[in-house]
Amino acid sequence: MIEITSLLRPYIMKHHVIPALIFFLISCSLCSCDLLSDLHLSSTKLAFKASVPNGSNLTDTTLFKGTDIKSYNDSTGEVIFNDSMTIQKIASFHKIKCYLETDSLFTFTLTSNIMSSIVNDLVLNHNLFDGKYYFEDGYPSYIDNLGTNAIRLENKQKRAAGWTQFIAQLKLEGRYTK
């Protein structure tokens, strides 16, 4: 029996190992394509920071990055985050700054639809009815009290260049939907 096994060894190697090796190489090449794609999508130049006390000074600390945003819908303003940890990180902050590398693009205020105050600039509003987050030009969105819409339009124009860069980067990273 040992003699037959030794006689069959070259046949077994040729017919089982070579196809397995070919399968392994093809699998590795497919994985590396996915890996490169994932690396491209996982890199971002966007950072969202807030000021935190550091002794007697305030220091900007990164709360989340563009990779923490799953998508932004331009039609609705909805921001979808990849996980709930991002939401927990931002919940205790009032104002958050968006950066593209080292360039400050804009600042937004974190709001929820139970606030009793008025904000006439960009907000990231947590809608408690549907649990989603939306970029809006002010809070509340339906108010026109003493020229509020004119102030909001003026503020929107002031941040237009930064907002355009933000949208361009989201498109580049594949996180933008219309």
Greater confidence, 44 or 132?
132
Shared domain for 107 and 19, answered yes or no, is no
Classify residue 115 by its DSSP letter.
Answer: -
pTM of the model: 0.74
Shared domain for 30 and 49, answered yes or no, is no
Beta strands 69-73 and 176-177, pairing class: parallel
Shared domain for 64 and 145, answered yes or no, is yes
Domain total of the chain: 2
Task: Give the model's confidence band at 33: pLDDT under 50 very low, under 70 low, under 90 confident, else very high.
Answer: very low
Q: What residue numbers bound the domain in which 62 lies?
A: 43-177
Token pair, residue 22, equals 């070919």
Distance (Å) of CA 11 to CA 14, 140, 149, 174 = 5, 76, 81, 50
Token pair, residue 157, equals 């124009």
Shared domain for 54 and 38, answered yes or no, is no
pLDDT above 90 as % of the chain: 57
C-alpha R_g of the chain = 26
**Backbone phi and psi for residue 162, each to the nearest 5 degrees, phi listed first:** -65, -40
pLDDT at 58: 87
